[in-house]
């Protein structure tokens, strides 16, 4: 494995030479940035801030490149959080979808998104509106784009004086962060096809990274990098192979095609990257979580079987070039919509006495994965859901799931209830990390669903899953064990549950802080838990349907902000008296 450190100076290499374990490199990122040549620091000033994010700000979706959703702020603590009160709120003028955005905060301003890709900027101290931008995207009934699961958007990215947002209609737009004026706009998806964008962009190596969704409608997933200053395309990496008659874009696609059969490209293949990304700036590796097959049923899209790369996988590519490096597939030959696009997190852990640079993820399929992020080596996987019936575990030698035979409904010809269902044991809601407790905070759920094979008659603009509902012959739904939703305090070293807090409503995302707190959305509430024990310490009613909280500091005062509610949707901000 070659580790590219192009930006590191001679002085920095002197620091690196004594290091034998590549996992330790990540701990040196702050040092490397400080030692880098001045020109490199100037060129990457925003990205250097993402490596060692200023404590007072929240500069990207996961707060930093590692996507930890952890803040070192500690003014609000387990001892005083009960005194938290509303500092201000702001009504989002756009309605029509639930709120899934994680705000970003920079230089005293909050930037976030609402339904239908609506973007706004607020004074982070007072909640006063600075600007908003409505792209005017119509609903599906009014001729707007097709999209799977609501006209949602998970947020924006920032680089220099620009704010970037992906739109439901497939555009990537750069806005002036001071005025909201359009700086540039590019159509990232083919016009007339059923692609959409709901995820937050990321900025890597001066490029804006964006994926897309639409696998249910029959599309071929890919990730694209665009120059942050101009909008020019820098690179594109397809996530499943296309028609072999057209040739393959690279060796990775040629390799992936060997794991498919039939004419999979007719219905796209799927694999769309609609959410999870993380980036290691020392390794220059961008980690991409990929989506489900199109159609869902493997026997419809790939009738001869096969793993169908890179569906339901984590794929590592070079951040600068998009060149393939390695992959790990969480669900080979996905048959159940078990995407691996769920949030990805980069941690440095000591496992069995060895310092490891790892990647962790809790994808839909119900297993919590720990991988070596340098090589993609499988380290461990354990079930985190109570309802988990499609597989009995993950083989420690091969890293492959130990499937239950009846789960392959296309092969057996028999419909079956499987846990989890297509909404997964964990979906888009961000988990978070606390380096003091050593725990990951995972918003999990127990679900099941009925799967039965159905012939696909591909139609544009409609779902093409290759599954049926069973009609009158469908058996009674089995009881789901455990709570429907819950927050888990999870130890990634032992890969075990430490504590759980059961919920009464749907999950939102989570955030952890140095104040020994983990905040999360649940139902209509923003809740603060003791990060060590899971004990609920405080809650506030913020309206049903919560996004993901963030925290920041202005003039010595710490604030906590979350988007929530629907009538009207609001930005809620809390602080101590």
Task: Give the model confidence (pLDDT) of 214-236 as tens digits.
Answer: 999 999 999 999 999 999 999 99
Q: 375 - beta bridge partners?
A: none
Q: What is the pLDDT of residue 68?
A: 97
Quote the pLDDT of residue 80. Answer: 98
Does residue 36 surpass a pLDDT of 60?
Answer: no
Average pLDDT, the chain: 91
Q: What is the mean pLDDT of residues 235-239?
A: 98
pLDDT of residue 25: 34
Q: Which residue has the tokens 């993402």?
A: 50
Is the model's pLDDT at 40 over the cut of 80?
no
- Tens digits of residue pLDDT in 417-469: 999 999 999 999 999 999 999 999 999 999 999 999 998 887 777 888 888 88
Bridge partners of 324, per DSSP, are 317
Domain boundaries, the chain: 1-43
Tokens of 495: 């890969």
Q: Which of 46, 337, 372, 530 is an active site residue?
A: 337
User: Does 241 have pLDDT greater than 50?
Assistant: yes
The count of other CB atoms within 10 Å of the CB of residue 279 is: 26
Three-class secondary structure assignment of 406-468: HHCHHHHCCCEEECCCCCCCCCCCCCEEECCCCEEEEEEECCCEEEEECCCCCCCCCCCCCEE
Q: How far is CA 282 from CA 65, 160, 357, 541, in A?
A: 11, 21, 11, 42
Per-residue pLDDT of 337-360, as tens digits, reads 999 999 999 999 999 999 999 999
Active-site annotation holds for 337: yes
pLDDT in the model for residue 131: 98
Which residue reads 């919920």 in tokens?
503
Cβ 102 vs Cβ 509: under 8 Å: yes
CA 135 to CA 347: how far, in whole Å? 37
Name residues whose C-beta falls within 8 Å of residue 440's C-beta, 6 or more positions apart in sequence.
345, 360, 431, 432, 433, 489, 490, 491, 492
Instruction: Evaluate if residue 23 carries a pLDDT over 60.
Output: no
Average pLDDT over residues 118-140: 95
Q: What is the pLDDT of residue 32?
A: 34
Q: What is the pTM of this model?
A: 0.92
Q: Is the dihedral of CA 435, 329, 331, 271 positive or negative?
A: positive
Distance CA 532, CA 413 (A): 47
Is 361's pLDDT higher than 70? yes
Instruction: Return the percentage of the chain with pLDDT > 70, whole number.
Output: 92
Which tokens hold the place of 24?
Answer: 């330790």
> What is the torsion angle, in degrees rounded to the nearest 10, for the CA atoms of residue 63, residue 67, residue 69 and residue 75?
-50
pLDDT at 194: 92
Residue 26 has pLDDT above 60, yes or no: no
**Cα–Cα distance, 481 to 552 (Å, whole number):** 38
Q: In the prediction, which pLDDT does 543 show?
A: 96
According to the model, what pLDDT value does residue 52 have?
A: 75
Instruction: Express as a percent the part of the chain with pLDDT over 90.
Output: 84
Over 60: is that where the pLDDT of 513 sits? Answer: yes
Taking a C-beta distance cutoff of 8 angstroms, is the pair 172, 201 a contact? Answer: yes
Q: Which two tokens stand for residue 181?
A: 């004026």
Residue 38 has pLDDT above 50, yes or no: no
Count H helices, E strands: the chain? 7, 40
pLDDT, residue 456, reads 82
Q: Please, what is the Cα angle at 466 between 365 and 241, to 5 degrees?
A: 75
Phi, psi of 534 (to 5 degrees): 85, 0
The values of phi and psi at residue 51, to 5°, are: -70, -50
């Amino acid at each position: 494995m070659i580790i590219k450190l192009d930006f590191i100076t001679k002085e920095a290499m002197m620091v690196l030479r004594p290091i034998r374990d590549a996992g330790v490199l990540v701990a040196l990122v702050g040092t490397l940035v400080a030692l880098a040549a001045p020109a490199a620091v100037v060129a990457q000033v925003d990205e250097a801030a993402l490596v060692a994010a200023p404590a007072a700000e929240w500069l990207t979706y996961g707060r930093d490149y590692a996507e930890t959703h952890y803040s070192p702020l500690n003014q609000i603590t387990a001892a005083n959080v009960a005194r938290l009160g509303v500092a201000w709120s702001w009504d989002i003028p756009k309605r029509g979808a639930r709120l899934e955005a994680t705000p970003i905060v920079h230089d005293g301003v909050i930037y976030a998104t609402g339904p239908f890709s609506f973007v706004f900027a607020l004074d982070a101290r007072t909640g006063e509106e600075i600007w908003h931008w409505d792209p005017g995207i119509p609903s599906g009934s009014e001729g707007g784009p097709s999209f799977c699961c609501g006209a949602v958007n998970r947020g924006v990215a920032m680089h220099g004086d620009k704010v970037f947002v992906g739109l439901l209609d497939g555009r990537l737009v750069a806005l002036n962060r001071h005025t909201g004026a359009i700086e540039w706009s590019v159509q990232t998806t083919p016009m007339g096809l059923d692609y959409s964008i709901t995820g937050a962009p990321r900025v890597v190596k001066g490029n804006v990274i964006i994926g897309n969704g639409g696998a249910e409608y029959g599309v071929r997933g890919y990730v694209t990098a665009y120059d942050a200053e101009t909008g020019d395309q820098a690179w594109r990496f397809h996530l499943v192979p296309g028609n072999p008659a057209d040739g393959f874009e690279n060796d990775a696609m040629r390799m992936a095609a060997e794991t498919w059969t039939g004419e999979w490209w007719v219905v796209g293949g799927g694999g769309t990257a609609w959410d999870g990304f993380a980036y290691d700036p020392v390794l220059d590796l961008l980690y991409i979580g990929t989506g489900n097959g199109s159609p869902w049923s493997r026997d419809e899209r790939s009738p001869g079987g096969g793993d169908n790369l890179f569906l339901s996988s984590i794929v590592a590519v070079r951040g600068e070039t998009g060149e393939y490096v390695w992959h790990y597939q969480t669900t080979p030959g996905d048959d159940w919509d078990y995407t691996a696009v769920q949030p990805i997190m980069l941690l440095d852990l000591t496992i069995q006495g060895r310092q490891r640079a790892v990647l962790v993820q809790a994808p839909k399929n119900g297993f919590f994965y720990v991988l070596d992020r340098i090589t993609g080596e499988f380290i461990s996987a354990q079930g985190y859901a109570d309802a988990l019936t499609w597989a009995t575990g993950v083989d420690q030698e091969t890293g492959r799931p130990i499937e239950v035979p009846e789960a392959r409904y296309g092969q057996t010809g028999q419909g079956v209830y499987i846990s989890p269902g297509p909404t997964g044991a964990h979906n888009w809601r961000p988990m978070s990390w606390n380096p003091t407790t050593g725990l990951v905070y995972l918003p999990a759920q127990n679900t099941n669903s009925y799967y039965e094979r159905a012939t696909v008659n591909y139609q544009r603009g409609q779902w093409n899953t290759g599954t049926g509902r069973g009609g009158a012959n469908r058996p009674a739904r089995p009881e789901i064990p455990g709570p429907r939703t819950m927050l888990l305090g999870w130890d990634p070293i032992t890969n075990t549950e430490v504590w759980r807090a059961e919920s009464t409503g749907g999950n939102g995302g989570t955030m952890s802080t140095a104040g020994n707190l983990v905040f999360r959305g649940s139902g209509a509430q923003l809740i603060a838990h003791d990060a060590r024990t899971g004990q609920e310490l405080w809650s506030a009613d913020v309206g049903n349907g919560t996004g993901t909280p963030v925290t920041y500091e202005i003039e010595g005062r710490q604030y906590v902000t979350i988007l929530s509610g629907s009538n009207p949707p609001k930005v809620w901000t809390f602080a101590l008296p």
